[in-house]
Chain A
Amino acid sequence: MSNPDPASSRRQFLKVSSLSGTGAAALLGTTAASHAGDTPTPPADDSRADLGGAPVCDVSATLWPLKTRVNALKQLLYDKGVFTEAMLGGFVDYYTNVVTPRLGATVIAHAWKNPAFAAALTNPPASEPFAATRIIRDFLKDRQLISPQSTGGWSIGPEGEWLRVVQNGPASPGAPPVHNLVVCTLCSCYPQALLGIQPVWYKSRQYRSRAVCAPRGIIREFAAAKPANRLAPYGIPNYQPYVESYLSRLSEIRVWDSNSEARFLVIPSRPAYVSDSWSEQQMTDLISRDSMIGTDIL
């Protein structure tokens, strides 16, 4: 490296110092080594990162790809007798065949059809804030959609023990509507007992970080990813302006951070195009997973 001009610009400084761990010291006409006998050597890439340099990641550098390590863990746990293939298969089977977003949509469709049911879910008595858990458990048991084996007899299922249901629309009759959006800002807490496995986006840092400051922006982002003719069969030719209009009517947006073991489920606003003549089955088909989290406007 040639001796740099002391009057070099900051850009030049950065360019030179990036070429060697001792670049900055060379520019200052000194060396970083302070102990007699030390030979100044550039730090290895990784330690330079520790000093605030390039963000080197040692996950991929020193370990095998995740999938192979997960398989190694699985084999270890089989060998230790902690799990059997049947146990892990049972979990996959439960979320494949028993609990999918269809389960939650069945509850919401019933709430759309029966305002008294919706009111019971959203207005629990003060002494029983999680009454929705009991009501939904009994509703799904009556329809033979869940069994006591999967619920321990008391909850709806895993991540369905302490459920609160919040409703989009007017907070009171005639009032301007509110909208609810659910997030787990730390990780991925989710009403799994009713919606199944979280979508990938729900677990993303992008969603977790932004939901608590820009929820309308998130709803717009989800809307932009949908085809413009999404609701054309219902006489709404252009979906994105329809979402803008929905957002403009809101008096408030409420973000629910799932930071305890309580879980939140959103009853989306029943759209004007859904008439009373619709069956619960038709409504269930319409209600999307994302609308029950609050990111999708129906």
Chain B
Amino acid sequence: MEGPHNTHGWIGFDEIPAKSQPEAKPGASISPWLEPDWEGHFSAIYAILSTANLDRARWGRELMHPRNYSNSSYMELWLRSVALNLLESGGASLTDLTSPRGSLPAIIDTASLARASSLKLAARGESVPGFGRPDASFKYSSPLYKPGVYNKPRWKAGDLVSAVVQTTIGHTREYPLYRGKTGTIDKVYPVAPIQPASPSAQNPVTYTGAYGQAYPDIECRGAGDDQRFVIPLYSVRFNATDIWGQEYAEPDMAIYADLWEPQLTSPVGSIHESLDDQGRLVLEWGRGSLQSSPDLKLWEDVPGALSPYIVQTGQPSGFFRLRL
């Protein structure tokens, strides 16, 4: 979501607080300066509840009014998210959350819950990189990515990539500073299922070293298993000057961020070719219109071609280029 959590590169916040906070010593405390029976217990509450859907939990913080977000402590942000998700999952009722219970005060106000819910409603019809708009029942689909399928990576280390431009009410981990910027793929994180799906002491998980979490831009919507898209992830290296310009950032600096395959495209003026899981040729480009030619002489726009474009098998051989 666009909002005040995206303060990347803001230097006006002054000195970093609490730099002298001591380390936790084994056996002494959960963390010096945290009180075990409320900050410690609350850390447990949000950590455990968030594991149900981390992206949805993160979105819950971002849905706060920007003014309140900016004035809230870290724990206050998590309290808002926990309350919203308890309400939506049926774990607690509106009355439970917004009314005093005995001598205990209300946990959250009705207005901010209502506000967050209405924003989520507005996000339901949004387009998502790689998937476009959802259908009438708000389900996303893609010719390249199927739910429950672990897709083969289509980019390789060393490839030059551009991060797609998007603006969203939903949650994404493609933050504004990366959008539209060009970087290089540092590492490919292939995806694979965690096996077995229900591990036990007798039947432990075999660690494959592959990534296994779903695409946050859709996962945050909490729409269930048929909307869990496990998509290859890439560590992308950006030069700080490409993010911030020549002078704002420190020199000789690189920023590494993890981006999901649908958040990547070719830098302007180039077409990326790859084969999908079914062996079909996939063309991707960041800007311009795709043209084709049978003979490199006569070029015509490919009608309706959008990136990523799957070249249908059985077509006569030909050539592609971009009209910028």
Residues of A within 8 A of B (CB): 49, 55-60, 62-64, 66-77, 80, 82-83, 87-92, 95-97, 100-102, 124, 126-131, 133-134, 137, 148, 152-155, 158, 161-162, 164, 185-188, 196-197, 199-201, 203-210, 212-218, 221-222, 225, 250-257, 259-262, 288-289
Chain B's nearest CB lies how many Å from the CB of A9? 27
Q: Can you list 17 A-B contacts with CB-CB less than 8 angstroms, sorted by A residue number?
A: A57-B67, A66-B75, A70-B38, A70-B42, A73-B42, A83-B48, A91-B43, A130-B211, A131-B209, A152-B199, A162-B211, A187-B5, A205-B13, A209-B9, A253-B250, A255-B253, A261-B54
| Contact B21 A201, beta carbon cutoff 8 Å | yes
Quick check: is B190 within 8 A (CB to CB) of the other chain? yes
Q: Is the CB of A76 within 8 A of B96?
A: yes
Which residue of A68, A82, A207, A255 is within 8 Å of B105 (Cβ)? Answer: A68
Q: Please state if B24 and A95 are interface contacts (CB–CB under 8 Å).
A: yes
Q: Contacts A68-B105, A204-B17; is A186 near B5 (CB within 8 Å)?
A: yes
B255 is contacted by which of A88, A96, A257 (Cβ under 8 Å)? Answer: A257
Which residues of B223-260 are within 8 A (CB) of A?
233, 235, 240, 243-244, 248-250, 252-258, 260
What's the least CB distance linking B245 to chain A, in Å? 10
Chain B residue at smallest Cβ distance from A153 = B204
Whether B295 is near chain A, meaning CB under 8 Å from some CB there, is no
Q: Are A206 and B15 in contact (CB under 8 A)?
A: yes
Q: Is the CB–CB distance between B233 and A205 below 8 Å?
A: no
Q: Is the CB of A70 within 8 A of B75?
A: yes
Give which listed residue, A153, A186, A252, contacts B173 with CB less than 8 A.
A186
Q: Is the CB of A63 within 8 A of B19?
A: no
**Are B254 and A252 interface neighbours, CB within 8 A?**
yes
A156–B36 Cα gap in the complex (Å)?
A: 23
Query: Using Cβ atoms and an 8 Å threshold, which residues of chain B touch A213?
Result: 8-9, 11, 240, 244, 248-250
Name which of B26-34, B124-132, B282-290 contacts chain A. B26-34
A56: B residues at CB distance < 8 A: 67
Q: Are B243 and A212 in contact (CB under 8 A)?
A: yes
Q: Compute how far the CA of A215 lies from the CA of B251 in the bound complex, rounded to whole angstroms.
A: 10
Docked CA distance A186–B1 (Å)? 11
| B173 adjacent to A218 (CB under 8 Å) | no
The answer to whether B24 and A101 touch across the interface, beta carbons within 8 angstroms, is yes
* B160 shortest CB reach to chain A, Å: 18
Assembled-state Cα–Cα distance A261/B215 (Å): 11
